Amino acid sequence: MEAQALHLHSYLLFPFSVDKEAVTQDHQRVWGDKDHWIDGLDEWIADHGHAAGSPVAGKLGKWQRDAFRRFDMDSFAYQDMVFFHPFVRRVFFDTADSFVLESGEAENNLKVYQIPLMHLGETGRQLIFEAEDARGRMARVRVTDLRLYLFANGIGILSLGVEAEHIPLAHALWINEMMRKVYPSSGRQLREGRTPSRLALRLEGGGEPQTIVDETFGKCTMRGYLPPLARTITDLLYFLNYTTQEFEPILDERMIVYSYLSVDPSTVPPDFDQSEEYETLMSRFLYVDRIGDGYRYESDFTRDAMRQQVYRRWAHQGTLYGFTSYSNVTLVMGRFNCDEHQLKEGFLVHRMFMSRYYLTVIVALFYRATLLDFSERTALVSRTLYKRFGVAKVTETDTRLVARLMAEVQLFSNYWFFSELANKDEEQEHFVMQCAAYRLHSMKTEMEQEIEKLNTTLERIYQLRSTESINRLAMLSMILGGGAMITGFFGMNFEKGFKNVFFDPPPGWEWMHFISIGVVSTLTVGSMLFAIFLVTRNWPDYRGILMPQPPKTKEESLRRTIGQKEDED
């Protein structure tokens, strides 16, 4: 008998970065009177113009706010929040208007949305996610959850939840490996069947089937530096315009796979969960590979890697957890009572998979996406300063770019980033292993060093400009001071010979009087003209002092502004 999966439940996670400044600039109607980008999200998503022509919004419904509003003991909010430290609850749980500061602002800086799918069941309909390749292989799974996380720093995470029951293990692994793809990395991948040749979202049951999104990758071209995202992504993010680069993907052609797989014990030998074959299955599941004989990679290499990447606290029950930079998986043998956790209340491992473990995955992925986004923005700002430093054209706009970037880094480090999330050992151990797989701490250290170097470079530029300004001021003071001494000298009321020569010369010596006036006037006028020339020639250095300007309330897009400035230069 072929080995079967009782239950496959996968969340395909797509992290992306929203160009906040470009979005607010393009949609002034929404953000014209708002101070912060996150304040306009609800209105923007609710009535954004793209929604009217979106097949997703028209056939499935629009994204709706999905904040926690119930906090009684049996609510999801209560059961999830109690496992995290209080400071984490404040930051990473969207509680909408339930907790508001005295200033009237919301406590948290993220918003969670969903496209409700429960109403489909009332009409007997299901949302199906399909994938097929050039070799005729195909998979169909139910979409059970569509969720969207948007953070105040512009990072977003699209979560697509799919499920299937009683399918071959080989089919389950193929689903994870193929449905995570969001664009082909080459035409050869399509021809060889290593990436889907078609992805689709369809409504089926309870009436005529309807295709909502159908992507065949018929024509894939780069959009500047951006890859050709599948319509299954861009149509779900209908309120964002990918063609105008209002957002960009942060990772490669694969979504992150967060997956739960339950093996049917009746289809495998006894003690299968303690065998080498089970370890082999875990390696294929963990590294998002297809089924095969033995390990996909060299066996000793794979075993060594899995010692660091697999969590084995419950291995004696056949429960394994694994963590890589592109996957987070849970592998179990069947469904059973877990000590005093009764199966009639729901299988414990699956409940944890859908709740607090899912939240730790979202947090860790948010950290990774933010750090990668900072890397890009730091590189863009550094390139701008490098070009301007060579011609001494650093402006106040450049200063604001650096200051804004430093402020967001400080907010991330001091507000968002926590090395410890949970108050229970197992949850925290999972989080630590995921952070290690993402290399978060080394990335954060490197990013902070880059920001510090960027700040040091800016300080050196302004120190040089300040030194030049001081030198000009010293030279100007000497000239003006010398002129003042000369005019003061001649303005003193000397008597006798001095007066008779310069102020009241005898007949025939009037020319001495006029020559002295000419010399003094020339020195005075020359000093004043030279002072005016210096100030005019170096006006940017003095404008901020003489004519201070209030900072702009709406910042310009970092990517768009830099591109335009480089074209002008």
Cα-based distances in Å from 193 to 80, 133, 199, 288, 385:
40, 5, 13, 16, 45
pLDDT at residue 490, as a whole number: 57
Structure letter (DSSP) for residue 266: G
Q: Decide: 424 and 431 in contact? Cβ < 8 Å.
A: no
- Quick one: which of 556, 46, 22 has its CA closest to 248? 22
pLDDT at residue 100, as a whole number: 56
Q: Decide: 23 and 258 in contact? Cβ < 8 Å.
A: no
| Span between the terminal Cα atoms of the chain, in Å | 69
pLDDT at residue 383, as a whole number: 80
Q: Average pLDDT in the 85-105 region? A: 73
Q: Average pLDDT in the 112-137 region? A: 88
Rounded-to-integer distance, Cα 74 and Cα 194, Å: 45
pLDDT at residue 182, as a whole number: 94
Helix axes 440-491, 396-411, angle to 10 degrees: 140
Enclosing H/E stretch for 44 = helix 41-47
Q: Decide: 152 and 110 in contact? Cβ < 8 Å.
A: yes
Q: Give 208 or 139, the one with higher predicted confidence.
A: 139
Q: Average pLDDT in the 243-247 region? A: 88
Predicted model pTM: 0.84
- 564: alpha, beta or left? (left if phi > 0; alpha if psi -120 to 50): alpha
Q: Decide: 216 and 209 in contact? Cβ < 8 Å.
A: no
Q: Indicate whether 246 pLDDT > 80.
A: yes
Q: Average pLDDT in the 103-130 region? A: 81
Q: Indicate whether 250 pLDDT > 50.
A: yes
pLDDT band at 275 (very low <50, low <70, confident <90, very high): very high
Domain ranges within the chain, ordered by starting residue: 9-63+115-264, 269-346, 370-463, 464-568
- In degrees, rounded to 5, the angle at the alpha carbon of residue 508 between the alpha carbons of residues 504 and 513 is 40
pLDDT at residue 80, as a whole number: 83
Handedness of CA 451, 455, 456, 458 (dihedral sign): positive
Share of the chain above pLDDT 90, in %: 46
Q: Average pLDDT in the 268-282 region? A: 94
Q: Give 156 or 450, the one with higher predicted confidence.
A: 156
pLDDT band at 93 (very low <50, low <70, confident <90, very high): confident
Structure letter (DSSP) for residue 50: G
For the segment 131-159, what is each residue's pLDDT rounded down to a tens digit? 999 999 999 999 999 999 999 999 999 99
Kindly give, in sequence order, each residue whose CB lies less than 8 Å from that of residue 270, ignoring residues fewer than 6 positions away: none
pLDDT at residue 566, as a whole number: 46
pLDDT at residue 460, as a whole number: 75
| List of long-range contacts for 84-87, beta carbons under 8 Å, 24+ apart | 84/356, 84/359, 84/421, 84/422, 84/423, 85/418, 85/420, 85/421, 85/422, 85/423, 87/418
For the segment 452-476, what is each residue's pLDDT rounded down to a tens digit? 888 887 777 777 767 766 766 676 6
Q: Indicate whether 114 pLDDT > 80.
A: yes
pLDDT at residue 285, as a whole number: 97
Q: Indicate whether 548 pLDDT > 70.
A: no
Q: Decide: 51 and 115 in contact? Cβ < 8 Å.
A: no
- Structure token pair of residue 555: 């910042």
Q: Indicate whether 567 pLDDT > 50.
A: no
For the segment 26-67, what is each residue's pLDDT rounded down to a tens digit? 888 888 778 788 888 988 888 775 555 678 888 888 899 988
Rounded-to-integer distance, Cα 294 and Cα 314, Å: 23
- Quick one: which of 415, 399, 408, 411 has its CA closest to 377? 408
Q: Average pLDDT in the 264-284 region? A: 95
Rounded-to-integer distance, Cα 500 and Cα 355, Å: 103
pLDDT at residue 569, as a whole number: 46
pLDDT band at 261 (very low <50, low <70, confident <90, very high): very high
Q: Indicate whether 437 pLDDT > 80.
A: yes
pLDDT at residue 21, as a whole number: 85
pLDDT band at 342 (very low <50, low <70, confident <90, very high): confident
Highest mean pLDDT among 13-27, 36-50, 539-553: 13-27
Q: Decide: 108 and 90 in contact? Cβ < 8 Å.
A: yes
Strand partners, 129: 141, 201
Q: Average pLDDT in the 180-203 region? A: 92
Rounded-to-integer distance, Cα 8 and Cα 200, Å: 19
DSSP string, 406-421: HHHHHHIIIII--S--
Q: Indicate whether 208 pLDDT > 90.
A: no
Pairing of strands 155-168, 138-151: antiparallel
pLDDT band at 568 (very low <50, low <70, confident <90, very high): very low
Cα 363 to chain centroid distance, Å, stands at 12
Mean pLDDT of the chain: 84
pLDDT at residue 165, as a whole number: 96
Strand partners, 64: 114
For the segment 471-522, what is each residue's pLDDT rounded down to a tens digit? 666 766 766 666 666 666 555 555 555 666 666 677 776 677 777 777 777 8
